[in-house]
Amino acid sequence: MAPILFLFFIAAGFAAFLIGISIKFAPKDRPTDIKASSYECGLAPDPPPSRHIPVKFYRTAILFIIFDIEIIFMYPFALAYRDFLAQGQGLYILLVMGVFLAFFLLGLWWEIASKALKWT
């Protein structure tokens, strides 16, 4: 336990040292309007768009990420299931994946029932 605490204090001291150095030697000047403006390939920045992006784009992206992550969790199960069968744990692992799939299908059902992806 002592070596872990020693490494913790070394890391905390090093972090405090680096923060202190950056505070001491950081530039103190305030940015001007030109420095604060965006710069893209030497062109003047375009004015901001006049309309907002609809929420349905964000909703679709979030739902895609959620279901994509669930599919990613199914891939290791498919690869390791044969090993679990050889160890005699096949039924247990299959039940665990069944519960996971039930949550997945419940989410899919909710998405369809609430018409979350309807564009009109």
Domain that holds residue 7: 2-113
Provide the sign of the torsion angle of the four alpha carbons 55, 58, 61, 63, taken in this order: negative
CATH of the domain at 20: 1.20.58.1610
Q: Does residue 80 form part of some domain?
A: yes
118 found inside a domain: no
Weakly modelled stretches of the chain, pLDDT under 70: 1, 38-40, 42-50
Amino acid letter, 29 = D
Q: Is residue 30 part of a domain?
A: yes
pTM above 0.75, yes or no: no
Among residues 116, 2, 120, 1, the alpha carbon closest in space to that of 60 is found at 116
Looking at the structure of the chain, the number of domains it has is 1
Best CA proximity match to 70, nearest among 47, 95, 99 = 99
Q: What is the pLDDT of residue 46?
A: 66
Q: Is residue 29 in some structural domain?
A: yes
Considering the domain boundaries, does residue 120 fall inside one?
A: no
- Rounded CA-CA distance 58/62 in Å is 6
